[in-house]
Amino acid sequence: MSGWRVEGYTEVRELGAGAQGRVVLARHEPSGTPVAIKYLNASASEAERERLRHEARMLGRAESPHVARLFHLVEGPDGAAIIMEAVDGVSLKELLARRGALGPEASLSVLKGSLLGLAAAHALGVVHRDYKPANVVVPADGRSRLVDFGIATPAGREAGGAGTPYYMAPEQWDRHIATPASDVYAATCVFVECVSGHRPFGGNRAELMRAHLTGPVPVETVPEPLRPLVARGMAKDPADRPPGAAAFVDDLERTAREVYGPDWESRGIRALAASAVALAALFPLAAWVVPGAASAAGTAAAQGAAHAAGQAAGHAAGQAAAGHAAGKVGVASAIKAFLGSAGGIATAAAGTAVVVGAGAIAVQQFTGDDPAPRPTSTRPVAAVAAVRGCPTTDAGGGKTTPSPGPAQVRLPEQVKLPKDAAVYALGQGRYLIGPASTGCSGSMGANAGYTTIGDSKTLRITQNWQGSVGNIADQVCKYFPDSPEAAKAKRNFGPCTSAVHDRQDVPTGEPALRLALATEQPTELPPPSPYMMVTLVTMGSNGLPSPVTCLAPAARADMCDAALTHWFVQATTDTKIAKPDLDRVAARIAAYVRTAAK
């Protein structure tokens, strides 16, 4: 291979290429972690470089399990590239081409996952502008991920006629002001394709333009109860559509519950997972553990990846275009050999489905305030703990137990795991430590969610996230009252309405990562006194607080110490925090926990 390469990564194979650049699957040399690297061509203009920077800024700020994570932006005189999470799954484009219509419940699940990914962008003031099946990946767990923001633009900015003609909203065919309603239109078009097996409109560019501008919305191609949903999502006038992805999720969930019952999503996700697993040989990481798979790649899959990459350096198609004919025996043998080696990632398989967990890589996330790439590093590790799944209730009342991913996870050396503790997977490579005997439960809605381990009367660990602007502002105001984000929240929403006790800011050694500790009052019957209720909250440059609370008897301070310290160390993955700083913060957490008992 010729041309510039990012130092510290070994290219495994090319996943897609086009006029603007190419996407490759690569291995981070120090840790062995797989990543996807999107390279711009050496001849890229400054405008193309700025688009890549904008994509990196957006991905770096997005906090959603439905958006592929950014690890690193690298720029130099010889080229530019972004290093991203290697989402192991098959593109929705490939799934539709091989599977055809997905059925209503699976299609609604795809639409919901996509809308939640778009909602994360819309919350940051970003319009995707090119939502299409090639930009959606369906992993083995059936939960779709959005993977390419190559032509995204700030909402409210004037934009030209860019996008993919099959899915472009009427306003996108000319100069217009970018709004989230355009993404809602595109997502609805893809939903119609998922349900019916056909795009809403066909023909050449001129015919597509006329159809999108003046043609009737093809509601007749979907089941009758879903037609109002499609009519709203594909309304010609943006003002007649839901104003953004989050609002459309509310419409979708209400319709889905009424038509298909409260467990519609669990059935839809199972159907998607089965369809994705049937194409597991196409997963990008299939060839990671089956060396021969890449050489046996199907010509059609490779051509599809190259075509999509030609549109916008096709990250999504690249994610889906791996080996076409990996045999079950070869996969099983390769996995057995890999698990017996000192590889940097944990691997498991079910039939031909290969699931690869996140490795212990620590790379710098790009921020607008600090565009220079920082050195990568790996963390020393100590204990190895088993990982459990956590049953989760969705907004419709359906319950699922996602795969916990790797069978084991390595814990940082700063974390001392109590004997009766377990590690529970939350998704996106995040974990929560809690008591092993009481189990775990979670709830996931459109704008909020939580995970709880244990109960308030004995010992409870809780992690929650907020997706609404008002609730995020309340958390910022509550835990980081002196921050610029809190000042903005107070201007927009008024004085803080929540309070905590003995709040302490803890310097982390990295200005972009803020940390606060606080004690709170339980709202339910607590354990017998003395007990503690301690909350640790991290907040990165994206301004989104991430709290974990431990309510426990004073005698179980070790559980609070482990849960809170582990949560903090996980938040440092994308920073350059040195080991002495990690040790110092871990000691500060332990000291705070032991003085918080009441």
Question: Which residues are designated catalytic?
Answer: 130
Tell me how far apart the alpha carbons of residues 231 and 216 are, in angstroms, rounded to a whole number: 9
Tell me how far apart the alpha carbons of residues 469 and 386 are, in angstroms, rounded to a whole number: 36
User: Token pair for residue 543?
Assistant: 């301004």
User: Token pair for residue 212?
Assistant: 């999108």
Give me the phi and psi of 20, to 5 degrees please: -90, -20
Q: What is the DSSP letter of 363?
A: -
Question: Does residue 420 sit in helix, strand or coil?
Answer: coil
Question: Does residue 216 sit in helix, strand or coil?
Answer: coil
Strands (DSSP E) along 467-575, which ranges?
A: 501-505, 514-519, 531-539, 545-553
Tell me how far apart the alpha carbons of residues 99 and 96 are, in angstroms, rounded to a whole number: 5
In sequence order, what are the residues at sequence separation of 6 or more whose Cβ sits closer than 8 angstroms to the Cβ of residue 530? 553, 554, 597, 598
CA-angle at 23, arms to 41 and 333, nearest 5°: 150
Of 293, 353, 362, 363, whose CA–CA distance to 88 is shortest? 353
8 Å CB contact between 532 and 560: yes
Of 216, 205, 128, whose CA–CA distance to 166 is shortest? 205
* H/E element, 392: strand 392-394
Q: Is the dihedral of CA 37, 43, 44, 46 positive or negative?
A: positive
8 Å CB contact between 434 and 453: yes
Q: What is the 3-state secondary structure (H, E, C) of 35-96?
A: EEEEEECCCCCHHHHHHHHHHHHHHHHCCCCCECCEEEEEEECCEEEEEEECCCEEEHHHHH
Alpha helices in 262-384 (DSSP H): 264-277, 286-289, 299-312, 315-320, 328-339
Q: What is the DSSP letter of 170?
A: G
In sequence order, what are the residues at sequence separation of 6 or more whose Cβ sits closer than 8 angstroms to the Cβ of residue 77? none
DSSP one-letter string for 128-165:
-----GGGEEEETTS--EE---TT-EETTSEE-S-S-G
Tell me how far apart the alpha carbons of residues 203 and 189 are, in angstroms, rounded to a whole number: 15
Tell me how far apart the alpha carbons of residues 292 and 356 are, in angstroms, rounded to a whole number: 17
Of 50, 8, 41, 44, whose CA–CA distance to 23 is shortest? 41
Question: Which amino acid is located at 124 in the chain?
Answer: L
